[in-house]
Chains A and B, each alone.
Chain A
Amino acid sequence: MLRFLLNRGGQALIAAFGVVTLVFFIQRLSGDPTALLLPETATQQDIEAMRASLGLDRALWVQYLDFLWQMARFDLGRSFVQNASVWDIILSRLPQTLQLAAGALAVALLIGLPLGLIMALTRGRAVSRWIMGLVLACQSMPTFWSGIMMILVFGVWLRWLPTSGIGTLAHLVMPSVALGLLSLATYARITRAAVVDELSRDYVRSARARGAGTGRLVRHHLLCNSMIPIITITALEISQLLAGAVIVETVFAWPGLGLLTVQSIAARDFMVVQAVVLLGAFVTIGANLAADILYSIVDPRVRLGAKS
């Protein structure tokens, strides 16, 4: 088990280093932030002065080494635009993003899993096809459209929910649903496929022969054995949720990391953009590592495979 952990942990570290390097160079390739920080009327001298004051006039490799050293100390630097420490900015946005991701994941899991299960158990029947239609509709609606539609219906027309912003639990409902819909569809389809796969196995026939009802069959046999693909998907979905949050947060004026990303990219706020991208990468790497470890707990074959 220890070797398995070290192996996976080492891979995660290499991935993290790669991400840090890529983020640094891609951002520098994409343009000079100083032109955007100054008014159009700024002269070349003004631009040079600004570049010097931000340290952008140094050689690229010096900036890169400096950046690596900073990362090693977990120093994310200061935002040129907001005039504040990047850690403070990120930490002020993180709680909202976590709330939103949790809300969306709850929507996706609590609705998507049962729907998938029902579809599997009723496969071939009209109910199953209807649910599949609904799931496909959820998956096909772009969030910027479904978000605005929800705002118009529930915020402006019915006035049940606040139109935008944060504050109460009611504020969380629409953004969570908008963000969760896509994952909901994924969960429903993956669960259906996994359960259908399990249903054809011998142990299910034996259990039925022993007289197990559908409820017992699902609880004791099917769910546990269908878990591997669902765990895999959860790891992927968490990173998906972070990416999807960019649009949802913009539509609902939800002050999370997604909105921060959009604003910082528009303002060429290098420091913040690279911090957010790194955070996203680390979350993805972390989630995958956690999924690997979870597999090995749920299904010992994974662990044994790693040894050989």
Chain B
Amino acid sequence: MNHTMKALLTGVALAVFAMPAFARDITIDLAGEPSSLDPQVQWNPDSYYVYRNIFDNLVTRSNAGEIVAEIATAWEQTSDTELTLTIREGVTFHDGTALTPEDVAFSVKRITDPAFASPQLGQFNQITGAEVVEGNKVKLTTDGPYPALLAQLVKLSIVPKAAVEAMGAEAFNASPVGSGPYKIMDWTRGVSVTLARNDGYWGTVGPFDTAVFRAVPDAATRIADLQAGTADLVVSIDSDAAAQIAGNPNIKALSAPTERVAYLGLNLDAPPFNDPEMRKAASLAIDNLGITEGLLAAGEVPVAQLASPAHFGYSPDIAPFVYDPDAARAITAARPELAATPVVFGTAPVFDQRVVQALQQMLNDVGFKVEISMTDMPTYLAAARAEDRAARPGLTFGRWSCACQDADGIAYPLLKSDSSWSRVNDPKVDALLEQARVSLDDKVRLDAYAEVAKMVRENYYVLPMYQAAVLYGAATGLTFEPTANESMFLNRMTWAE
């Protein structure tokens, strides 16, 4: 065999064996397709799994949950209502133009403009102004002191002013231009979105050449894709599916507690739950551990307050609820008239019906008369937020997330007396929530939330249940760390053969 031949064969062998390492692509099965890739016009997970790889946010959260620099490298609270952020230099958009403080100010103004009608407006509408200031900085003004501002800015994506204005809304949505670690390559409506690596990214470059996000609505099919090796990462599986793939060496289940807090809401304005003792009976009737470990079993963490360890404002000192059905029965037996009052448990298909039915049975076992009323989502929403509070369903089950990991995001809408979701009417709780909402002093806020949590626990205003968990299925070689805010950043993943 001559040298040329040898060299050639070696070359071929090298090429054959080395190829997979070079051309590693990833396929991710989502439940649905993104409704839009313009980061400011929708609000659903299938969209932000994808677009957050195309766009950078003003700040971000590390996998550990801390707020860290992204487009803003530093920030300073220059007054009670002003936050000044220093903008990173040397960042370019996928079209080659530089990302400037003007783009940041434009992005803030675009999403906070009521005429733009962004579904995310509610998260940013306390921002009243954004202006470029000297030294590569942007100054944000809020309508009052707003301690959760940075936590909200984790979700504020930066769009290029020039491209948005030149392309128009529809074209920008079809081929979005961002500054993130991946750029859009193809979007086949209804089928998949393909992203290609941005090799010039300022931060950690992604490990995959391309990433394909597919819409696979049936969870069983997503698992089959994973088993067949046609998908590397799949979202939204349940613990049964996780058990099903446990024996397969090629795939694994990944889980993490999220920032969604599940709770049983009680109507405090109508019998039987206008009686604190009956609320206590309900709390004693619920086998929370049975639900989290027996029924759901995805890594849910029981909580007795409307916050989780993933939230700022979580109070470690709140005692867990006690499960004691006999004590509950004693309470309901002493109040036969209240116990016999029919209770409507309002719900919609989107809520986990296993939990709803388990709750119904647990409550009826101790003497309540609960009936489930299942309607479609808009009907449920209208009933649960009905103007006349006494007419709302007696019970509702929900999982609340503000996507901000701050106690304010759950406690304020669910407990403040004038909020459309609240069933509570306690001036002291109101005062504490207001105080915590506008104080820039972490200590003051933590104390206020601890006090609120204590009052909710003592009065059984709401029955918090657990911190929900999220389960993913992944190929064994993929390293992906699920986070509480359910992010899916491609450049934080790694692949080992």
Within 8 A of B (CB), among A242-273: 250-253, 255, 259-260, 262-263, 267-268
Check if A32 sits within 8 Å of B378, measured CB to CB: yes
Within 8 A of B (CB), among A155-202: 155-156, 159, 162-166
Q: Mark B187-213, 1 if CB is under 8 A from A, else 0.
A: 001111000000000000000000000
Q: Mark A122-161, 1 if CB is under 8 A from B, else 0.
A: 0000000000000000000000100010011001100100
Check if B376 sits within 8 Å of A30, measured CB to CB: yes
Check if B122 sits within 8 Å of A46, measured CB to CB: yes
A182 CB, nearest partner CB in chain B, Å: 19
CA distance A159 to B250 in the complex (A): 15
Is B36's CB within 8 Å of the partner chain A?
yes
Check if B32 sits within 8 Å of A263, measured CB to CB: yes
Check if A39 sits within 8 Å of B122, measured CB to CB: yes
Check if B225 sits within 8 Å of A164, measured CB to CB: yes
Within 8 A of B (CB), among A220-262: 250-253, 255, 259-260, 262
Check if B228 sits within 8 Å of A159, measured CB to CB: yes
CB-CB nearest in chain B for A247: B218
If A40-B421, A255-B215 touch, whether A49 touches B224 (CB-CB below 8 Å) is no
B227 / chain A contacts, CB cutoff of 8 Å: 156, 163
A62 CB, nearest partner CB in chain B, Å: 21
Is B297's CB within 8 Å of the partner chain A?
no
Check if A36 sits within 8 Å of B191, measured CB to CB: no
Is B142's CB within 8 Å of the partner chain A?
no
CA distance A22 to B493 in the complex (A): 50
Is B217's CB within 8 Å of the partner chain A?
yes
A196 CB, nearest partner CB in chain B, Å: 40
Which one of A39, A88, A89 lies within 8 Å of B123 (CB-CB)? A39
Is A42's CB within 8 Å of the partner chain B?
yes
B169 / chain A contacts, CB cutoff of 8 Å: 83
Check if B35 sits within 8 Å of A268, measured CB to CB: no
Check if B221 sits within 8 Å of A163, measured CB to CB: yes
B434 CB, nearest partner CB in chain A, Å: 16
Q: Mark B32-45, 1 if CB is under 8 A from A, else 0.
A: 11011010011100
CA distance A255 to B214 in the complex (A): 10
Check if A35 sits within 8 Å of B117, measured CB to CB: no
Check if B420 sits within 8 Å of A44, measured CB to CB: yes
Is A38's CB within 8 Å of the partner chain B?
yes
Within 8 A of B (CB), among A29-79: 30-33, 35-44, 46, 49-50, 53
Is A84's CB within 8 Å of the partner chain B?
yes
Is B381's CB within 8 Å of the partner chain A?
yes
Which one of A31, A93, A96, A252 lies within 8 Å of B377 (CB-CB)? A31
**Could you tell me how many residues of chain B have their Cβ less than 8 Å away from some Cβ of chain A?**
48
CB-CB nearest in chain A for B38: A83
Which one of A39, A44, A82 lies within 8 Å of B36 (CB-CB)? A82
B153 / chain A contacts, CB cutoff of 8 Å: none
**Could you say which interface size class chain A belongs to?**
35 or more
Is B476's CB within 8 Å of the partner chain A?
no
Is A81's CB within 8 Å of the partner chain B?
yes
Check if A253 sits within 8 Å of B377, measured CB to CB: no
B102 CB, nearest partner CB in chain A, Å: 25
CA distance A92 to B190 in the complex (A): 8
If A31-B378, A31-B379, A35-B377 touch, whether A163 touches B122 (CB-CB below 8 Å) is no
A174 CB, nearest partner CB in chain B, Å: 11
A159 / chain B contacts, CB cutoff of 8 Å: 228
Check if B409 sits within 8 Å of A41, measured CB to CB: yes
B381 / chain A contacts, CB cutoff of 8 Å: 35-36
**How many A-B pairs fall under 8 Å by CB?**
133
If A31-B376, A165-B191 touch, whether A262 touches B217 (CB-CB below 8 Å) is yes
Which one of B33, B382, B413, B421 lies within 8 Å of A32 (CB-CB)? B382
Is B352's CB within 8 Å of the partner chain A?
no
Is B128's CB within 8 Å of the partner chain A?
no
Check if B221 sits within 8 Å of A251, measured CB to CB: yes
B113 CB, nearest partner CB in chain A, Å: 11
Q: Mark B366-407, 1 if CB is under 8 A from A, else 0.
A: 000000000011110110000000000000000010110000
CA distance A38 to B376 in the complex (A): 16
Which one of A38, A252, A259 lies within 8 Å of B43 (CB-CB)? A38
B230 / chain A contacts, CB cutoff of 8 Å: 162-165
Chain A CB count within 10 A is highest, among B117, B120, B190, for B190
Is B121's CB within 8 Å of the partner chain A?
yes
Check if A165 sits within 8 Å of B214, measured CB to CB: yes
Is B114's CB within 8 Å of the partner chain A?
yes
CA distance A259 to B121 in the complex (A): 30
Is B170's CB within 8 Å of the partner chain A?
yes
B376 / chain A contacts, CB cutoff of 8 Å: 30-31
CA distance A96 to B191 in the complex (A): 11
CB-CB nearest in chain B for A167: B191
Q: Mark B348-376, 1 if CB is under 8 A from A, else 0.
A: 00000000000000000000000000001
Check if B43 sits within 8 Å of A39, measured CB to CB: yes
Query: Contacts A31-B377, A42-B122, A163-B227 given; 17 further ones with Cβ under 8 A?
Result: A35-B382, A38-B43, A38-B122, A39-B122, A41-B122, A49-B117, A50-B117, A83-B38, A83-B173, A84-B170, A148-B224, A155-B224, A156-B228, A255-B189, A259-B215, A259-B217, A268-B378
Q: List 5 A-B contacts (CB under 8 A).
A: A81-B35, A83-B42, A88-B189, A164-B224, A268-B377
Give me the 7 closest cross-chain CB pairs, A-B, nearest first: A31-B378, A255-B190, A253-B216, A35-B381, A92-B189, A53-B117, A156-B227
Residues of A within 8 A of B (CB): 30-33, 35-44, 46, 49-50, 53, 81-84, 88-89, 92-93, 96, 144, 148, 151-152, 155-156, 159, 162-166, 250-253, 255, 259-260, 262-263, 267-268
